[in-house]
Structure 1
Amino acid sequence: MVDKLSGITTFLLTYFAFSITSWLFPMDRKWLESLDKPAWSPPGSVIGLAWVVIFGLISLAVALLQEKIGWRRLGWLWKGVFIANYLFNQLFIIGQSFSRNLLLSFLDTAAIAVTAFALVFVTWSYSRLASMLFLPYALWSGLATFLSYTIYRLNR
């Protein structure tokens, strides 16, 4: 029972941690809608829903790792990649809310994608299931990077 409660707590805390800045600093929808976007750009509602699901998958992966491995046994490389990814993720929301700098948004999105792919690889030796739960995040972040670059180019 304690282990299950610990896993649920880890899931909820991770989800909250990844979501908090989007609640504190909501995107300026008017500004986002005013930007030129490629025809293949998903609607904002699809992007928002994708992140809700992805944050859930990230949280599940972290909870599985915590239950299977434990925080103390996760290596410094995994912890460093995860923390870097988390910080880049949170900086994106804050940057979009305040700077509206599309070049910085693209660069930050690229950093998110690189560290998300790194999470897939550094997690593999601990848990293949957790590693696979990070894969949609990495793939979506890769798409987001390409979209971010395209929006930057269209609005220079």
Structure 2
Amino acid sequence: MFNSWILIGGITVLVALGSSFIRPRDISWGKRLDRPGWLFFEPAIPLIWTIIFACGAISAALVWQSAPGSSKTWLLMGLYLFLEIITVAYIPATLWFRSLQVGTVLGGLGVVLGILLTLTVFPVSEAAALLLLPYILWSPVGTYTTGQMLDLNPDAK
């Protein structure tokens, strides 16, 4: 039997590295975008997401421990993975397509999937569901911010 904590944590890190698939010209485009004046916390966003991904990985490990290898647990692991992929795709997709609208759609999808995953996980493990609350609280902030940036940068639709 494998150590689920190490495997789930490793997969989380590998998927999170997917956000680094961006080109320098895309980064310069993103830096030129106007941001809302209230976005003073932008430098803390990578730390915030690191904490959220860690909470998600611990949540997934708790769910796995509740019924290792069952079909329901595998389905839940797939939902965790899908949510992380959608979340990690936000930055590269927004930059590649040079479209804040793409980011807003991915962010909104992440909010909905995060809520559905939390509600699905709650009967399995209340602690695991609680560990998803940072995602549920923060993800709408990012989505709202992207929507506000779309208003400030109409050419970046």
Instruction: Please tell me whether the aligned partners of residues 12 and 53 of structure 2 are also in contact (alpha carbons under 8 angstroms).
Output: yes
Cα displacement (A) at 1:121: 0.7
Could you tell me how far apart the structure 2 residues matched to 1:146 and 1:8 are? 33
Tell me which residue corresponds to 1:25. Answer: 22
Cα displacement (A) at 1:71: 3.7
Determine which of 50, 57, 60 is the counterpart of 2:58. Answer: 60
Give the 3 Å change call, closer, same or farther, for CA 20–49 of structure 1 in structure 2.
same
Deviation per residue, 1:50-76 (Å, 9 max, x gap): 111111111111111111222424267
SS at match of 1:139: helix
Q: Does 1:110 align with 2:105?
A: no
Deviation per residue, 1:18-46 (Å, 9 max, x gap): 31212333785433332111122144321
Instruction: Please tell me whether the aligned partners of residues 35 and 149 of structure 2 are also in contact (alpha carbons under 8 angstroms).
Output: yes
Instruction: Please tell me whether the aligned partners of residues 16 and 84 of structure 2 are also in contact (alpha carbons under 8 angstroms).
Output: no
Instruction: Please tell me whether the aligned partners of residues 63 and 73 of structure 2 are also in contact (alpha carbons under 8 angstroms).
Output: no
Determine which of 9, 12, 22 is the counterpart of 2:9. Answer: 12
Could you tell me how far apart the structure 2 residues matched to 1:38 and 1:88 are? 24
* Counterpart residue type for residue 15 of structure 1: T
Tell me which residue corresponds to 1:93. Answer: 91
Give the 3 Å change call, closer, same or farther, for CA 76–15 of structure 1 in structure 2.
closer
Q: TM-score, normalised by structure 2?
A: 0.83
RMSD: 2.4
Give the 3 Å change call, closer, same or farther, for CA 67–76 of structure 1 in structure 2.
closer
Determine which of 121, 124, 127 is the counterpart of 1:126. Answer: 124
Matched pairs, number: 153
Tell me which residue corresponds to 1:69. Answer: 67
Cα displacement (A) at 1:77: 6.3
Q: Which consecutive residues of structure 1, in runs of 5 or more, have no partner in the other structure?
A: none
Q: Which consecutive residues of structure 2, in runs of 5 or more, have no partner in the other structure?
A: none
Determine which of 37, 40, 49 is the counterpart of 1:39. Answer: 37
Q: TM-score, normalised by structure 1?
A: 0.84
Could you tell me how far apart the structure 2 residues matched to 1:68 and 1:76 are? 12
Determine which of 133, 136, 139 is the counterpart of 1:138. Answer: 136
Instruction: Please tell me whether the aligned partners of residues 18 and 55 of structure 1 are also in contact (alpha carbons under 8 angstroms).
Output: no
Give the 3 Å change call, closer, same or farther, for CA 82–15 of structure 1 in structure 2.
closer
Give the 3 Å change call, closer, same or farther, for CA 23–91 of structure 1 in structure 2.
closer
